[in-house]
Every structure is written in structure tokens, then in C-alpha cells.
Amino acid sequence: MKPSRIFLVGFMGAGKSTVGPMLARRLGWEFIDLDQEVENRQKRAIREIFEKQGESYFRALETAAIESLADKADCVVALGGGAFVAEPNRSLIHRLGVSVFLDLPLEKVLDRCQIDGTRPLFRDETEIRQLYQKRLPHYQGSNLRIDVSTLRPDQIVDVIVDKLFHS
């Protein structure tokens, strides 16, 4: 059975927000950036939500946004880096569709992402390394894992389409 929702999972910098729109276009589906969805619903930036209400409040908003996808079909969803860590979110995602882990080694993440204060949990390299190690086992619970370290975004799209629709 072909999926009607594809959830892109992975650490910051893995390419979810780049690959997602390309994959959605290829499939003729809608693209949803979950972080953007939360920001639109709250009418403020995630950084501000973290600062004013904290991470647990943000995670509840994230879960509500995932739950709202039960009414949508034919969509590609780029999850925030921490969305797949919570067990209720993982269960919900597996019930709603297919999760695809864009696996990027930490050293490449550090090359791609600047520590500039725009990402609430991306403040210094030691914290980033700890967060990566904490999240990795959860990401590995995805339905499909793709090593994206040497692939261009269009090649990643090709692999996803091949694995999910032509296998």
C-alpha cells in the first residue's frame, strides 16, 4: 500500500525543508513544514515560544499540529528536529503515514548549520553533540533510513520515490 503522508525526520540541517518541497512537487502533493505550521498557528516565532512558554509548551503545540494532519492526505511533512523524539508523536506518525529518516552525520550537520542563535536548541557545539546522540536512536525508529551525506536533494527525492512507490 502506498503512503498518503510522508514525514521527513532528522536532525537540524539534514535537508528536510529542502527535500520536502521537492518531493511534494514530484508527487503532486502538498508540502507542510511543521515548524512553520506551529508558527503560523501561534503567530510568532518558535524561538519566542521557547523563550516565553518553554520547550514542553512548544512540544504540545507540535503534537497538536501533527494530530491535525489526520484530516489531510497526500502531503509531505518536514518535522522539526525534536518532533520524532516524543513517543506519542512517533506512534501518531506511524499510524498516519511513513517516516523517512534523512541521516546526516553530526560533522556534516555542524558544517551546514551555524551556531547563531536562530535555532533555540543550537547554542554551542557540546550541547549539539549531546542532543544529536540523544535523538539519534529515535530517528533510527523511522520506517526508512537514507544516508544523505553524499546525495544532492534531487537524488534524495529519487531514492524516496523509488523506495516508497516502486519497490
pLDDT digits (tens, 9 = 90+) for 117-137: 544 455 677 888 899 999 999
* Nearest-angstrom CA–CA distance, 81 and 135: 8
Of residues 62, 67, 69, the one with CA closest to residue 120: 62
pLDDT digits (tens, 9 = 90+) for 70-99: 999 999 999 998 999 999 999 999 999 999
pLDDT digits (tens, 9 = 90+) for 7-52: 999 998 899 999 999 999 999 999 999 999 999 999 999 889 988 9
Q: What is the pTM of this model?
A: 0.91
Measure the CA angle with vertex 94, ends 110 and 82; round to 5°. Answer: 30
- At 44, the amino acid letter reads R
Q: Which domains does the chain have, with CATH numbers?
A: 5-153 (3.40.50.300)
The pLDDT value recorded for residue 1 is 60
Place of cell 560533522: 107
Cα distances (angstroms) measured from residue 127 to each of 84, 102, 152: 19, 21, 28
